[in-house]
Amino acid sequence: MKLQTISALNLKLQGSTGSFKVGSPNSRESFEVKYLLTHVGLNFNEGSDERLLKELAPVREIFDFKSLDFDEIMQRDIDDARVSSELIPYILDDESKDLVKFFPPIVVVALPIKNDANKPLDYYPEVKNGVEQRKDHPTGVEDWAVIQSGEDGKEVFKFEQPILSGVPQLHDLVSLNLNTSKCRLIIVDGQHRAMALLALYRNLKEDWSDSRRKPFESYYKEWTPEYIRKFNLDEIRLPMIICTIPELDEKYARASGAYDLKKASRSIFLTLNKTARKVSRSRNLLLDDSDLISSFMRKVLSKIKNGDSNFLSSTSLEIHNVELDQGGDRQVITSPMAFTGVPHLHYITEHLMLDSGDVTGVRKRDGRFSTRAKGTYISVLLQRLDADNTLGQDAYSSITRNVFTTNDETVLCDTFMSSYGKCILKSLTGFFPFKAYADATQAIKIASDSVDVHIKPMLFDGQGIARVFEDHRKSLEHRLDEGYFKHDVPKLKLFKAELDRINSSYELMISRFERELTKNYFAGMQPNFYSSKEPGNDLVPFSNAVSWVTKVYRNIFQTVAFQAAIVCGFFSQFEKASSEFVGELELKLDDCFDEYLEQINNFFSPTSYPKFRNLSELLIGHTDGDNFSNIDISEGSPFTFRNVVFPNEMSPDEWPKYRYIMLEIWSPSHSGFNDSIENERNICRQQIITSLYDRYIKDYSKENMRHISELTKDEKEAQFSLAFNNFKDMLRRLNKASVLDESVCRRYVSDSFI
């Protein structure tokens, strides 16, 4: 007797089927996405609803972020505050109960997972198409079209469509059967709508006990089971599309493997979100599979995420130090544990690859990188990465920024990481202010294990969780004040008090981090400079030290312009000089960059009070006092870097101005390289004194209501002296006052004296 194989499929969903296509822009391949359109709701009399809600979850709860490779991350963080304050009230609206509410479908991809790890696979187990005979089927339909992934007993999914008159039906009796132990339902669009339904379900079933769910329970506590049950839950039904991509199976992987399920899922996500609620610019940059610059950036981020020992040795840098999903189009870092972000790294990578050597002196970098996709600029990129040798002439001539094969991408990414990418990582781990920041976050990460369960996720597990939490706390406060709720108000006030308590703990942890960062930043100071203690017995060198450090990081160290200046500023000179020195005089990238980092660290990591005073006066303003016990800092002095070099907003393209600081500090041991740096320094100085003098002349003429042509030579001389002395005072903070020659500077501005 032949034993029958027992099917592993344990979740049956019925609905209508359809298809659309996604594809690889690089290989021009396209793949059919076969989906089932069904619905899910809170009607627990239908077993499929409850079973589906048990299996459905946002990515943050399905996969451990640490276990995923960087390119497997497909989603934004969930705005739980918006779900609780907007979407749930929309679903539970007793004032318009007779109206039919419309919801766009929740879009889900059924992804296979590895047997030994909760990680998505690149391809389905082999997919077979066929027709099965079922003479005893209760519907009377005998022929069924079947698409099945995996052999019997080990299935991942199985589509079943009745065949009538030789045609598979799209609507009646179609089913999708899933093996929930072999695949995960990943929400690629509509996760906020899904979370609203899941929150109601979990509150009704008191099903928040899972450790990955628990940190988010507080957002939904006001929706008590007693209140939810007042509504006709049977009427709450949300449409859902469950997608599979049957062609991306093991057969395809063996034949080509140029595309995979993760890329297909990202393609679905990006396509849907181009016309949906706006996705942040940083998330689009992060997920863009058709941009070489994004590929290079993801490679850098993958090294950070995975702690690659070949690139990151003896470092505290982790992925939480990079803000992955900054709100809107802003480039300001908001996550307290991050000191850089996706727009920062994308901008740096874009410049390193597409710049054509047009940065001179301190002038703003010209041109738009968005137009640098082909032609001269892509040739520069390919030359930098030696594509002619590594890929061959045929590939070299066909690649653009947005058109390339998977092999092209792999080879170019590896070459990028061996030079440019490696130096980006060295700057993030080796530049002293960044290292101090990463070390401080590690200390807080350890400390957060012993505080409220909500705090660690807000700090480390999602770039927007803290922002969403504060939105929710304020929203609940507003709704209570406005009398929105007509039920359980005492209990809601307790929920609000709990949120306030969590927020207080969070703010205390941020304060603790700021003290830890300050302590790290001044760790090299001699003990006799310490004069006071702050709460927690953290030694700090002066009473306003925390404020000083916080301000310098926020306004300077964490900006795109400053971070671009560190890396792009180095390569702008290294590439120029490398073409001049060959043979025995050849420049070695690692040696030159290490020496460069060591020298700028010597300035930006103060080890004595005089060194700190120079740094403070360059960046902030005049610093009175002989030591930390009697220090007094006046902001905005005329000799600060910002007042001398550029008093306006420091946009990313103004990074050559910050580069100038590095050039004044940097003195390569290679004499020829140092001569090249000196030439560039002189160009910078000429541009600075000319610009500063012109600014002073214009301001003076405006204040005195006289045209510049009406000013006397003595008046112009007075403005020149003011500009020269302030510039010289700024250079004094860099220990370079002697390099500024008054007669040379006078020649630079001589046209203005005529």
Q: What is the 3-state secondary structure (H, E, C) of 458-489?
A: HHHHCCCHHHHHHHHHHHHHHHHHCCCCCCCH
pLDDT greater than 50 at residue 754: no
What average pLDDT does this structure show over 448-465?
79
pLDDT tens for residues 85-130?
888 888 887 665 555 567 788 999 999 988 766 788 899 999 999 9
Mean pLDDT lowest among 83-97, 217-231, 481-495, 621-635: 481-495
Residue 207 · residue 184 · CB < 8 Å: no
Nearest one of 427, 433, 363 to 659, comparing CA atoms: 363
What's the CA gap between 552 and 196, in Å, rounded? 41
pLDDT tens for residues 711-735?
999 999 999 999 999 999 999 999 9
State residue 462's pLDDT score: 62
What's the CA gap between 214 and 225, in Å, rounded? 17
Q: Give 258 or 373, the one with higher predicted confidence.
A: 258
What average pLDDT does this structure show over 366-386?
77
State residue 722's pLDDT score: 96
Q: Which 8-state DSSP code applies to residue 753?
A: G
State residue 158's pLDDT score: 95
Q: What angle do CA 109, 110, 116 make, to 5 degrees?
A: 130
Q: Which 8-state DSSP code applies to residue 374?
A: S
Structure-block tokens of residue 617: 């006066």
The rounded percent of the chain whose pLDDT value lies above 70 is 87
State residue 674's pLDDT score: 93
- DSSP alpha helix (H) spans, 46-105: 47-55, 59-62, 80-82, 88-91
What's the CA gap between 217 and 205, in Å, rounded? 13
Nearest one of 247, 433, 409 to 340, comparing CA atoms: 433
What average pLDDT does this structure show over 654-680?
95
- Amino acid occupying residue 291: D
Structure-block tokens of residue 446: 């350890």
pLDDT greater than 80 at residue 666: yes
State residue 536's pLDDT score: 47
State residue 421's pLDDT score: 96
Q: Give 366 or 293, the one with higher predicted confidence.
A: 293
Structure-block tokens of residue 396: 């070299």
Structure-block tokens of residue 424: 């980006």
pLDDT greater than 90 at residue 703: yes
pLDDT greater than 70 at residue 277: no
Mean pLDDT lowest among 154-163, 207-216, 520-529, 562-571: 520-529
Q: Which 8-state DSSP code applies to residue 418?
A: I
- DSSP alpha helix (H) spans, 44-84: 47-55, 59-62, 80-82
* 232: helix, strand or coil: coil
Q: How distant, in Å, are the alpha carbons of 114, 640, 695, 724 from that of 683?
A: 58, 20, 18, 16
**How far is the first Cα of the chain from the last one, in angstroms, to the nearest whole number?**
110
pLDDT tens for residues 123-150?
999 999 999 988 877 777 889 999 999 9
Confidence of residue 287 (pLDDT cuts 50, 70, 90): confident
State residue 67's pLDDT score: 60
Q: Where are the beta strands (DSSP E) in 197-287?
A: 237-244
Confidence of residue 483 (pLDDT cuts 50, 70, 90): low
What's the CA gap between 573 and 659, in Å, rounded? 10
DSSP conformation letters of 281-295? HHHHHHH-TT-HHHH
For the entire predicted model, the pTM comes to 0.73
State residue 342's pLDDT score: 92
Q: What angle do CA 157, 163, 164 make, to 5 degrees?
A: 160
Residue 365 CB-half CA count within 13 A: 28
What's the CA gap between 504 and 730, in Å, rounded? 42
Residue 645 · residue 565 · CB < 8 Å: no
pLDDT greater than 60 at residue 530: no
State residue 534's pLDDT score: 47
DSSP conformation letters of 556-577? IITSHHHHHHHHHHHHHHHHHH
pLDDT greater than 90 at residue 59: no
Residue 248 · residue 259 · CB < 8 Å: yes
What average pLDDT does this structure show over 496-507?
88
Give CA torsion, residues 306, 310, 313, 318, to 10 deg.
-20
User: Considering the chain, what is the average pLDDT of its residues?
Assistant: 85
Q: Give 687 or 237, the one with higher predicted confidence.
A: 687
What average pLDDT does this structure show over 308-332?
78
pLDDT greater than 50 at residue 272: yes
At 54, give phi and psi (nearest 5°).
Answer: -70, -35
The rounded percent of the chain whose pLDDT value lies above 90 is 45
Nearest one of 685, 684, 681, 709 to 697, comparing CA atoms: 709
pLDDT tens for residues 744-753?
999 888 765 5
State residue 686's pLDDT score: 95
- DSSP alpha helix (H) spans, 482-633: 489-521, 545-552, 560-578, 589-604, 609-619
State residue 448's pLDDT score: 86
Q: Give 52 or 297, the one with higher predicted confidence.
A: 297
What average pLDDT does this structure show over 394-422?
90
Q: How distant, in Å, are the alpha carbons of 189, 327, 740 from that of 342?
A: 22, 12, 39
Q: Give 638 or 403, the one with higher predicted confidence.
A: 638
pLDDT tens for residues 10-35?
999 999 999 988 876 555 678 999 99
Sign of the C-alpha dihedral, residues 28, 31, 37, 42? Answer: negative
Confidence of residue 437 (pLDDT cuts 50, 70, 90): very high
What average pLDDT does this structure show over 269-289?
68
pLDDT greater than 60 at residue 453: yes
State residue 146's pLDDT score: 94
At 166, give phi and psi (nearest 5°).
Answer: 80, 5
Mean pLDDT lowest among 364-373, 431-440, 614-623: 364-373
What's the CA gap between 121 and 470, in Å, rounded? 36
What's the CA gap between 323 and 648, in Å, rounded? 26
Mean pLDDT lowest among 167-181, 524-538, 541-555, 664-678: 524-538
pLDDT greater than 90 at residue 299: yes
The length of the chain is 754
Q: Give 368 or 1, the one with higher predicted confidence.
A: 368
The radius of gyration of the chain from alpha carbons, rounded to an integer in Å, stands at 31
State residue 385's pLDDT score: 93
* 541: helix, strand or coil: coil
State residue 35's pLDDT score: 94
Q: Give 279 or 712, the one with higher predicted confidence.
A: 712
What's the CA gap between 568 and 657, in Å, rounded? 12
Q: How many other CB atoms sit within 10 Å of the CB of residue 610?
A: 11
Mean pLDDT lowest among 213-217, 472-476, 646-650: 472-476
Question: CB under 8 Å to 671, separation ≥6 — which residues?
Answer: none
What residues does each domain of the chain span?
11-127+189-273, 281-419, 435-521, 559-604+636-753
Sign of the C-alpha dihedral, residues 93, 95, 100, 104? Answer: negative
- Amino acid occupying residue 587: L
Q: How many other CB atoms sit within 10 Å of the CB of residue 86?
A: 13
Question: CB under 8 Å to 61, separation ≥6 — which residues?
Answer: 210, 212, 213
At 320, give phi and psi (nearest 5°).
Answer: -70, -10
Q: What angle do CA 119, 447, 559 make, to 5 degrees?
A: 75
**Can you tell me which residue has the tokens 């908001």?**
334
State residue 496's pLDDT score: 82
State residue 283's pLDDT score: 74
Confidence of residue 229 (pLDDT cuts 50, 70, 90): confident
What's the CA gap between 449 and 379, in Å, rounded? 50
Q: How many other CB atoms sit within 10 Å of the CB of residue 590?
A: 11
